[in-house]
């Protein structure tokens, strides 16, 4: 078995364990994909047909990578096995057998946006104001319940406020509309699959026989319904291999429950547990730092990453006076690293806890002509930023129809496409009286904003526009993503403070600079660029040099706007993920003060920094302030 020669002992054990339940605790950079693909190759070589093996991942990208790796390992002509996501699996099963529980064969899949529109339709039909009760909030409650395996008839509110009492009747009408239109939302793809298996054990048995060996990746990220589906597929043979790492569980806000991994050994009989601790990515010093941090978490399976590779360089810690100094300091280091030939731009990553932090980093890179690629949407290209700017542009110039059209129904105020068409055609008088009133209220809002632009400083204008438009109130009551959007808008206030000294000209200077920055933000297909992203977006990636920025208390670890509540263990896992992205070198930084929502805040360094042993750190004295660690 030549293919075992490239595996370490723990990986070999995982590959050779082919019968019964197997739990693989795979540390960061420990070769989990290699282990899974070689295990599947071994199963096939032992006579298990490829069609009898299934591998379930969380992303299409991961499934594609798995298929490509297997294609390289397996001989020509070997039949393909099924590597898919949980949702992709649900679609496949429901297309084949969903009719038995009333799911039409050619059902439509409603994405989150389409599902939100259906909820809004329900609210309007029940005379519930969508401006007071945000459709996305209802959809979030419905989605959470479905992820926990609940049907509408099972739903019992956990609190008895007015909103919670509305969830069940809204959900009932929502389900009726989906059913009438032959549609399933994302959560239905999994929920209805488990219901099918519960109600039709013969169909479940068919799939248990069809897929005799089940593999599930990132098991720590499964929610309640994915957990149930995993157990259903395993059946009585229990030939299930799950791979996961509690230390990299960072998606609880999406419903993931790492307890599923902890209880695996209780769920199945005679579980074999194998820990992959040998890391093939990072230096000894990086791993020692990561281990020292994560050991402070209580809810975890003990493991200690190690490497046979080089010791490597110490982590560099820098304190800066302000966020602008931090961004400029990082840009200077990058110039030195690339100039000395140590690294290419594409092997450098700048990581941050929240999206709003990217803005000042982008500006510093642009100023220093450093090419970069922002994973996600660039700061000034984000929808919420464009919306707020559009309000100001529409107020200043009533002929700017593009801006008016963009925000006339943001937040939702009941002005639809038909109204827009008539307004564009100059047919205001043909609108119904109620619609004319809504349009008039919108233009009154623009009048208020215009007055602000003539009497206030840029930062005050943006603060007031955020309040007057209802954007702030809407986002405050929304999801984690909405809170992130609100932080981006508050960062725009911070941007605007730099233009306050210019008085009445400051706003126009700000608008012009934003337009120019947007043009410069285009990476023009540039591949060799520094990568900017949140730590969440960095999971699964790796780089030679990693900068972890904004390591300040309440920023990382993060406390959402309006609360000091946070899950410190999950925040620590997030920091651990950031540390283990690096192959060669890590730069850590924080600022003594940071401008947040137009106010300069004095910072305490992140508590996570004190968990890294001093002998692993070097401080840059020319940038470090007097802070004692």
- Catalytic residue (choose from 581, 584, 585, 623): 581
Gap between the Cα atoms of 557 and 607, Å rounded: 8
The reply to whether 419 belongs to the active site is: no
With 0-12 CB in 10 A as exposed, 13-18 as middle and 19+ as buried, what is 262?
Answer: middle
The answer to whether 230 and 261 have CB atoms below 8 angstroms apart is no
The answer to whether 361 and 492 have CB atoms below 8 angstroms apart is no
The conformational region for residue 84 under phi > 0 = left, psi -120 to 50 = alpha, else beta, is beta
Gap between the Cα atoms of 351 and 546, Å rounded: 7
- Catalytic residue (choose from 148, 187, 218, 571): 218
Gap between the Cα atoms of 622 and 41, Å rounded: 54
* Angle (deg, nearest 10), helices 201-210 and 224-234: 70
What are 555's strand-pairing partners?
A: 558
What is the CB-side half-sphere exposure of residue 413 using CA atoms within 13 A?
23
- Catalytic residue (choose from 11, 12, 32, 517): 32
Report the candidate in 586, 2, 563, 13 with the shortest Cα–Cα distance to residue 351. Answer: 586
- Catalytic residue (choose from 148, 175, 188, 217): 217
DSSP-derived letter for residue 72 is H
Which helix (H) or strand (E) is 434 found in, with range? helix 433-455
Gap between the Cα atoms of 447 and 441, Å rounded: 10
With 0-12 CB in 10 A as exposed, 13-18 as middle and 19+ as buried, what is 202?
Answer: exposed
The conformational region for residue 100 under phi > 0 = left, psi -120 to 50 = alpha, else beta, is alpha
The reply to whether 33 belongs to the active site is: yes
Strands in 53-57's sheet, in edge-to-edge order, are 82-85, 53-57, 213-216, 240-244, 22-26, 272-276
Contact residues for 248 (Cβ-Cβ < 8 A; gap 6+): 28, 220, 539, 573, 576, 577
The reply to whether 248 belongs to the active site is: yes
The answer to whether 46 and 206 have CB atoms below 8 angstroms apart is no
The reply to whether 322 belongs to the active site is: no
The answer to whether 549 and 514 have CB atoms below 8 angstroms apart is no
Geometric angle at alpha carbon 44, from 41 and 47, rounded to 5°: 155
Contact residues for 146 (Cβ-Cβ < 8 A; gap 6+): 187, 188, 190, 191, 225
The reply to whether 32 belongs to the active site is: yes
Contact residues for 195 (Cβ-Cβ < 8 A; gap 6+): 101, 151
Gap between the Cα atoms of 227 and 221, Å rounded: 10
CB atoms within 10 A of CB 74: 18
Taken in order 71, 75, 76, 82, the sign of the CA dihedral is: negative
The answer to whether 270 and 23 have CB atoms below 8 angstroms apart is no
Which helix (H) or strand (E) is 349 found in, with range? strand 348-352
Residue 557, preceding bond cis, omega within 30 degrees? Answer: yes
Q: CA 96 → CA 49, 87, 92, 170, distances in Å? A: 22, 14, 6, 30
What are 214's strand-pairing partners?
A: 54, 240
- The tokens 């969830």 sit on which residue? 167
- Catalytic residue (choose from 35, 37, 248, 494): 248
Q: Which residues are catalytic?
A: 32-33, 217-218, 248, 581
């Amino acid at each position: 078995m030549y293919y075992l020669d490239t595996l370490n002992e723990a990986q070999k054990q995982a590959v050779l364990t082919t019968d019964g339940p197997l739990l693989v605790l795979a540390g960061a950079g420990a070769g989990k994909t290699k282990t899974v693909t070689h295990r599947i190759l071994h199963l096939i070589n032992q006579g298990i047909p490829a069609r009898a093996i299934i591998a379930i991942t969380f992303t299409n990208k991961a499934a594609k990578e798995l298929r490509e790796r297997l294609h390289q390992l397996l001989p020509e002509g070997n039949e393909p096995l099924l590597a898919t996501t949980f949702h992709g699996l649900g679609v496949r099963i429901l297309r084949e057998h969903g009719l038995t529980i009333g799911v039409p064969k050619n059902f439509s899949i409603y994405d989150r946006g389409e599902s939100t529109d259906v909820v809004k339709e329900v609210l309007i039909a029940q005379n519930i104001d969508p401006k007071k009760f945000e459709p996305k909030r209802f959809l979030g409650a419905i989605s959470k319940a479905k992820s926990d395996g609940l049907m509408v008839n099972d739903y019992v509110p956990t609190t008895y406020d007015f909103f919670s009492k509305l969830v069940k009747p809204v959900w009932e009408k929502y389900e009726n509309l989906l059913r009438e239109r032959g549609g399933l939302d994302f959560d239905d793809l999994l929920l209805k699959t488990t219901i099918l298996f519960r109600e039709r054990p013969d169909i479940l048995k068919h799939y248990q026989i069809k897929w005799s060996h089940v593999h599930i990746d990132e098991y720590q990220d499964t929610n309640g319904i994915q957990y149930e589906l995993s157990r259903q597929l395993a059946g009585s043979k229990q030939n299930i291999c799950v791979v996961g790492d509690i230390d990299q569980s960072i998606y609880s806000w999406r419903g993931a429950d790492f307890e599923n991994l902890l209880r695996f050994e209780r769920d199945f009989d005679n579980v074999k547990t194998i820990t992959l601790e040998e890391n093939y990515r990072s230096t000894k010093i990086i791993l020692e730092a990561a281990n020292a941090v994560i050991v402070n978490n209580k809810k975890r399976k003990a493991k200690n990453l190690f490497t046979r590779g080089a010791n490597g360089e110490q982590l560099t810690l820098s304190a800066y006076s302000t966020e602008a100094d931090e961004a400029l300091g990082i840009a200077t280091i990058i110039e030195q690293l690339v100039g000395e030939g140590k690294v290419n731009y594409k092997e450098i990553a700048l990581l941050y806890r929240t999206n709003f932090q990217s803005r000042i980093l982008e500006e510093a890179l642009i100023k220093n002509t450093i090419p970069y690629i922002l994973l996600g949407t660039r700061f000034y290209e984000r929808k919420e930023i464009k919306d707020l700017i559009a309000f100001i542009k529409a107020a200043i110039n009533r002929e700017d129809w593009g801006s008016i059209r963009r925000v006339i129904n943001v937040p939702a105020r009941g002005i639809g496409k038909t109204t827009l068409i008539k307004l564009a055609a100059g047919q205001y008088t043909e609108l119904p009286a109620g619609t004319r009133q809504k349009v008039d209220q919108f233009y009154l809002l623009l009048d208020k904003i215009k007055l602000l632009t003539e009497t206030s400083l840029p930062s005050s204008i943006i603060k007031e526009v955020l309040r007057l438009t209802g954007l702030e109130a809407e986002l405050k009551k929304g999801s984690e993503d909405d809170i992130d959007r609100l932080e981006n808008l508050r960062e725009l206030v911070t941007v605007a403070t730099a233009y306050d000294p210019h008085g009445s000209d400051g706003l126009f200077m700000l608008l012009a600079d934003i337009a120019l920055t947007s043009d410069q933000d285009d990476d023009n297909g540039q591949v060799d660029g520094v990568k900017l992203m949140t730590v969440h977006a960095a999971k699964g990636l790796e780089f030679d040099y990693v900068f972890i920025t904004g390591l300040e208390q309440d920023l990382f670890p993060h406390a959402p706007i309006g609360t000091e509540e946070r899950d410190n263990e999950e925040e620590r896992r997030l920091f651990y993920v950031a540390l283990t992205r690096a192959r060669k070198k890590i730069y850590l930084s924080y600022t003594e003060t940071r401008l947040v929502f137009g106010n300069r805040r004095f910072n305490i360094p992140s508590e996570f920094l004190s968990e890294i042993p001093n002998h692993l750190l070097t401080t840059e004295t020319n940038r470090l302030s007097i802070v004692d660690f």
